[in-house]
Amino acid sequence: MKTIAIGLLGYGTIGQGVIKLLQKNARLIEDRLGARLELAGVADPDLTRPRQVKVAKRLLTRDPFRLVRDPKIPLIVELVGDWPGVKELILAALRAKKSVVTANKALLAKHGAELFAEAEKQGVDIYYEASVAGGVPIIRVLREGLIANRIQAVYGIVNGTCNYLLTEMSQGRGDFQTILQQAQAKGYAEANPASDVEGHDASHKLALLIRLGFGVPIRLSQIYREGITALAPADFEAAAEFGFAIKLLAIAKLKDGRVEARVHPTLIPAGSLLADVGGVFNAVYVVGDFVGPTLYYGRGAGMDPTASAVVSDLMELARNYLRGEPGRRLPSGSFQDSRPQKLRVMPQPEVLTQYYLRMQVRDQPGVLSKISGQLAKENISISAVVQRGRGGKTAPIVMLTHTASEAAMEKALKRLNRLAVVQKPIQRIRIETAL
């Protein structure tokens, strides 16, 4: 039986997951692939830190370039993460005619074009299934499974940390800061949680999904981004009363030849499949013109699910290698590079949605009339409202609007903020009903 040597860059949590999988499922991999995958080296700058998953000492090295330059290693797994030299490392691997598996969404979102072009030039592949939704094979689904479809919309719960925090908040477990601290103690949120809770990580993943689904290279700056830090327990209570759940969604929609691209907290119908995606799980809802709505669900992160995606990628690259071929002529996105799609990104002010608004107002007659009057000046009409006078000085008003543009809503919010009866800040959350 043939043996294919694997060079692993990064002996962290995910790297250990990959080692564990290659050890535990070695026989299964042989049975499926008809060849052995053999770990030929593991590079990490810190080799002394204690690890859960052990590997023979002779395989360890501090120098990743030793593996990248080793002519006996045809496949490289990059799990180095957010390290400044990682782009050069991958470029070196590609130039040495090695195909690369990576889970590095931030890198791909920022430098994907350059890396994919180099892979194309060298006739090798970059596979990146683990970069979005962990073990859920959403990249394969978009690159192959749904490829006959014009993709019309993608709605993703793609950040497990945020989904865990929102699930906890929806169950009334406390305010954002309290729950974040508990999550950090449990290891579900990082010490510096900004990349997750501010929506950066979800934006990186959305950029990849947009490239695959719509054939549009997109800059991160073109994705509207709003995190979950401003959500309050009162929002979850009010949303539930109106029959909604709150999720951080990464949304891309084809509309009149343009693509909406946005990451923000979103009210979605309670009882919809995405609303039922709880805890650290991820799900991506994809609508194609022929297939209609589809959904893909599973663990979005963690040692084992990520290893599942990485090694499944490795096995596909190993098949190509066994065939003596550089690749399968699969374009790195889902379109031929020579055929870029002429879609533009829709500027956020032109995006149309319905809105949820929550504000604290003076508890006196006529307040609702004043508020609805200001909204009407921007042609925004109210579809539902709950106002609870509590006999105090102020009371909450929660309302849902009919569809309006972001530009109109921004203007309306400025108008409302000028009203003496309305306290700042006004909470504004977008609604998606077609789920």
Return the active site residues. 205
Q: Please tell me the distance from the alpha carbon of residue 402 to that of residue 408, in angstroms, as a whole number.
A: 12
Work out whether 38 is an interface residue with a second copy (CB under 8 A).
Answer: no
Nearest 5°: the CA angle 339, 152, 110 is 55
> Which residue number, 90 or 284, has a Cβ lying nearer to a second copy?
284
Residue in the structure block whose two tokens are 């990104």: 345
Q: Would you say 155 and 293 are in contact if contact means Cβ atoms under 8 Å apart?
A: no
CA neighbor of 205 nearest in space, from 151, 148, 136, 274: 136
List CB contacts of 192: < 8 A, sequence separation 6 or more. none
Which region, judged by CB under 8 A, interacts with a second copy, from 159-167, 173-181, 232-240, 283-291?
Answer: 283-291
Work out whether 147 is an interface residue with a second copy (CB under 8 A).
Answer: yes
Work out whether 48 is an interface residue with a second copy (CB under 8 A).
Answer: no
Q: Would you say 182 and 244 are in contact if contact means Cβ atoms under 8 Å apart?
A: no
> Which residue number, 283 or 431, has a Cβ lying nearer to a second copy?
283
List CB contacts of 221: < 8 A, sequence separation 6 or more. none
Q: Would you say 412 and 402 are in contact if contact means Cβ atoms under 8 Å apart?
A: no
Work out whether 141 is an interface residue with a second copy (CB under 8 A).
Answer: yes
Residues 88, 175, 289, 350: which binds a second copy (CB under 8 A)?
289
Work out whether 336 is an interface residue with a second copy (CB under 8 A).
Answer: yes
Helices (H) and strands (E) in the chain, counts: 14, 18
Window 262-281: contact mask with a second copy (x via CB under 8 A): ---------x-x--xx----
Residues 74, 135, 160, 193: which binds a second copy (CB under 8 A)?
135
Q: Please state the separation of Cα 259 from the chain's center in Å.
A: 17
Work out whether 120 is an interface residue with a second copy (CB under 8 A).
Answer: no
Residues 120, 198, 237, 304: which binds a second copy (CB under 8 A)?
304
Q: To 10 degrees, the CA torsion angle through 161, 167, 171, 172? A: 50
> Which residue number, 146 or 371, has a Cβ lying nearer to a second copy?
146
Site for a second copy in 54-73 (CB under 8 A): none
Interface residues toward a second copy, by CB under 8 A: 17, 21, 24-25, 28-34, 129, 134-137, 140-141, 144-150, 215, 271, 273, 276-277, 283, 288-299, 304-305, 307-312, 314-316, 319-320, 322-323, 325, 328-331, 334-336, 338-339, 341
